[in-house]
Chains A and B, each alone.
Chain A
Amino acid sequence: MVALMKISVMDTSASPAFAVETIGLTKRYPLSWKRKIVLALDHLDLQIRPGEVFGLLGPNGSGKSTTLKLLLGLAIPSEGEARIFGLPPDSLEARARVGFLPENPYFYAFLTGDETLRFYGKLCGVTGAKLEKRIEELIDLVGLQNGRERPLRSYSKGMLQRIGLAQALIHDPDLLFLDEPTAGVDPLGSSQIRDLILRLKKMGKTVVFSSHLLEQVQEVADRVAIFSLGKKALEGSLEAMLVENQSTQINLPAELSAEQQERVRQLLVQAGVGAAEIRFTRPHLSLEQLYLRTIQKAPDANPPTHPRP
């Protein structure tokens, strides 16, 4: 009896090494009318450390959302298990420490932005002055001043995504699950969401997000897993996986004249680099960067200031 108690005390006091851990996590959905099953997730092993930004990549239907649902206790695993900070995902303790932004979020259409946050705050046990202060902070953080008094029915897609982020953060969780946070959002909005993820990382939060837009993942994720047909096909740190070991890039802040290029070439050949392998190019802005540079100067979505005629 005494021994048992000691073990349980040790278990709870040990701080878990992983924010998210899954062992052989599997989900099958029965299709009852066909007597068939869909294997949505196939023996997933995953370990995400606290403070990491982790990207789940993969085409539609590859099991990203299923993974997140299992990690939130919204779906029950067919096999295997998941742990959130060492806790079972469907325990209230685990869910008090996670925030979730669902895919294509949709909330109560007849509530205003403030009312929505108040509602989700109450569900998390945040109340009173603390709640109001938190709402102010979050509205600022996601930039939704113009949506506070408006019903969500009148929100644009990007605004829904922002209120979704705000409600996910209402109880200041340590771990965030964001399902396709930038899907259907315009480039400026999605770059702001990226900045927000980086800010959350600086605050020490763990962020797990799914996306099928690769460019965006690259800019924020520390590590990624690539899913295909419910299986994890590849996992690793972006740093390690994306570096091309066989080449070097030199960036200069000025354009080189033909004569200067020739002199650099000679220097490099002297240093033992084959002349045929040296190429001079001018870096391009991505279209996204150009777009963002143009738009960033304009104010955010126009607030409803015009009086009714």
Chain B
Amino acid sequence: MISSLKRIIAIGRNTLTEAVRQRVLSVLLIFGLVMVACSVFFSKLLIDEQIKFVKDFGCGAIGLFGFAIALLSTAQLIPQELHNRTIYTILAKPVRRVEFLLGKFLGVVLLLSLSVMLMSIAFAGALYWQEWQGIDSTQIGYDQRTPHWQSSPDMVNMYQRDILEIENQVRDPQLIEAILLIFAKLVMTSGIALLISTFATSSIFTIVTTFMIYLIGHMETVARQVWLGRGAETTLYQSGFLGILSLLIPDMNSFTIVDEILAGNRVPWAHTFNLLGYAGVYLIVLLALSEISFRYREL
């Protein structure tokens, strides 16, 4: 058991090392530029709007860049090993196929963690820059309106409330929830791509199919609401179809709760943990299916 785990970790680390040395993470430089651009060029807005904008943009970009990394790197995992025939060198050692599969997946998860972490740091940087700017301009505003405002306790109180308001908006602990949820969604996307790549004959097929499932996963709930919303009119076929669909295709739409967080609404941690749990269970199912599909694959 322990030795099995060690092999999985060795394969995972190797996968991460290869990806990093192939400069996969250099796409994150573009992310950094986007973050800088969106905080510098939109500084004409009101400070509240500006912070909201950076939050929206940052979370959106983390999701988007993460999605690209998750999809492209997972779709490549097995085809690359087959094409270079490195898979033979691994499976000729005392390594089980399932260990190979889990090790490869671990590598992608490590890559995603690293990417999301780096992007979050850049995101936090952009937010703090907003805070600093906000405080600065607030002070300038006070100075312009009333000279010597510091001597009036009322004004000082008001000023401090304004500053606190900005700080609260920037240092929103709910953003941690948002990023965790985004990460969970990325790992799920990766899991879907892994399952498909265990039987796909090309990585293009994997990419396209995963993308479709991702989209359907978003529309599933919408379809349910439309159909079931009409009450008695749903046919047996429709509910059967939806039932099968929700078994096969993960409900990606529940992760749009991130938008609520960004809109400033409270999302309790319990709800976030529920979603993370859902992602975890779904992932286990995906990995189990991948194992079955990969077990007898002709290499």
Question: Which residues of A are interface residues toward B (Cβ below 8 A)?
Answer: 29, 69, 72-76, 92-93, 95-96, 98-100, 102-111, 115, 119-120, 122-125, 151, 164, 167, 171, 177
Q: Which residues of B contact A115 (CB under 8 A)?
A: 17
Least CB distance from A181 to B in Å reads 14
For A96, the closest partner residue in chain B by CB is B94
Interface 9-residue window, one of B6-14, B125-133, B164-172 = B6-14
B18 and A107 form a contact (CB under 8 A): no
| A75 and B6 in contact, given A106-B85, A110-B22, A111-B18 (Cβ under 8 angstroms) | no
Q: Given A74-B88, A99-B92, A105-B89, list of 13 further CB < 8 A pairs? A: A72-B92, A74-B299, A92-B95, A92-B96, A95-B93, A95-B94, A102-B88, A105-B85, A122-B6, A123-B7, A123-B11, A164-B89, A177-B92
Which residues of B (255-274) have their CB < 8 Å from a CB of A? Answer: none
Query: Of residues 1 to 49 in B, which have CB atoms within 8 Å of A's CB atoms?
Result: 3, 6-7, 10-11, 14, 17-18, 21-22
Given contacts A110-B18, A111-B18, contact A123 B95 (CB under 8 A): yes
How many residue pairs between the two chains, A and B, have CB atoms under 8 Å in the bound complex? 79
> Does B233 interact with chain A (Cβ within 8 Å)?
no
Q: How many residues of B are in contact with the other chain, CB < 8 A?
A: 25
Return A130 CB to nearest CB of chain B, in Å: 14
B84 adjacent to chain A (CB < 8 Å): yes
CB of B285 within 8 Å of the partner chain: no
> B96 to chain A: closest CB distance in Å?
7
The 8 Å CB contact of A75, one of B11, B21, B22, B299, is: B299
Pick from B22, B89, B96 the residue with the most CB of A within 10 Å.
Answer: B89
Contact of A111 with B17 in the complex, beta carbons under 8 Å: yes
Do A122 and B18 have beta carbons less than 8 Å apart?
no
Query: Which residues of B, 224-252, contact A by the 8 Å Cβ criterion?
Result: none
Query: How far is it, in angstroms, between the C-alpha of A103 and the C-alpha of B84 when the chains are bound?
Result: 11
CA distance A177 to B91 in the complex (A): 14
Q: Which chain A positions have C-beta within 8 A of B14?
A: 108, 111, 119
A234 to B85, CA, bound (A): 30
B88–A125 CB distance below 8 A:
no
Residue of A nearest to B103 (CB): A123
B91 neighbours in A (Cβ, 8 Å): 72-74
Interface string of B94-105 (1 = CB under 8 A from A): 111000000000
A119 to B12, CA, bound (A): 11
**Chain B residues whose CB sits within 8 angstroms of the CB of A99 once the complex forms:** 92
Q: Of all chain B residues, which has the CB nearest A119?
A: B14
- Inter-chain contact B18/A100, CB cutoff 8 Å: no
Q: Are A100 and B94 in contact, CB atoms less than 8 angstroms apart?
A: no
Are B89 and A167 in contact, with the CB atoms below 8 A? yes
Rounded to whole angstroms, the CA-CA distance of A288 and B178 in the bound complex is: 69
Most buried by A among B14, B22, B298: B14
Given known contacts A92-B94, A95-B92, A106-B84, A29 and B298 CB-to-CB distance under 8 angstroms = yes
Q: Which 6 A-B pairs have the closest CB atoms?
A: A100-B92, A110-B21, A122-B10, A92-B94, A123-B93, A96-B94
Listed by A's residue number, 29 A-B pairs whose Cβ atoms lie within 8 Å are A29-B298, A72-B91, A74-B91, A75-B298, A76-B296, A76-B298, A92-B95, A95-B92, A99-B92, A100-B92, A102-B89, A102-B92, A105-B85, A106-B85, A108-B14, A108-B86, A110-B21, A119-B14, A120-B93, A122-B6, A122-B7, A123-B10, A123-B11, A123-B90, A123-B93, A123-B95, A124-B93, A125-B6, A177-B92
CB-nearest residue of chain A to B295: A76
For residue B14, which residue of chain A has the nearest CB? A119
Q: A124 near B94 (CB under 8 angstroms)?
A: yes
Closest to B81 in A: A108
Give Cα distance in the complex from A103 to B17, angstroms.
Answer: 25
Residue of A nearest to B15 (CB): A108
Q: Of B10, B22, B299, which contacts A119 at CB under 8 A? A: B10
- Shortest distance in angstroms between B95's beta carbon and chain A's nearest beta carbon? 5
Minimum CB distance partner of A105 in chain B: B89
**In this complex, what residue of B is CB-closest to A115?**
B17
Q: How far is the CB of A178 from chain B (nearest CB, A)?
A: 12
Closest Cβ of chain A to B163, distance in Å, is 49
The chain A residue with its CB closest to the CB of B96 is: A92
Closest residue of chain B to A177 (Cβ to Cβ) is: B92
Q: How distant is the Cα of A193 from the Cα of B18 in the complex, in angstroms?
A: 29
A36 to B70, CA, bound (A): 37
**Contact A100 B89, CB 8 Å, known A92-B96, A124-B94:** yes
CB distance from B91 to the nearest CB of A (A): 6
Give the distance in Å from the alpha carbon of A100 to the alpha carbon of B84 in the complex: 16
Give the shortest distance, in Å, between A75 (CB) and chain B (any CB). 7
Q: State how many angstroms separate the Cβ of A34 from the closest Cβ of chain B.
A: 15
Q: What are the residues of chain A within 8 A of B11 when measuring CB–CB?
A: 123
| B291 vs chain A, min Cβ distance (A) | 15
> Nearest A residue to B6 by beta-carbon distance?
A122
State how many angstroms separate the Cβ of A163 from the closest Cβ of chain B.
10
A16 CA to B3 CA, complexed, in Å? 27
Residues of A within 8 A of B92 (CB): 72, 74, 95, 98-100, 102, 177
B89 contact from A29, A76, A110, A120, Cβ within 8 A: A120
| A124 to B21 CA separation, bound complex (whole angstroms) | 24
Which among A93, A109, A110, A177 has the greatest number of chain B C-beta atoms within 10 A?
A110
* Identity of the chain B residue whose Cβ is nearest the Cβ of A100 in the assembled complex: B92
Residue of A nearest to B9 (CB): A122
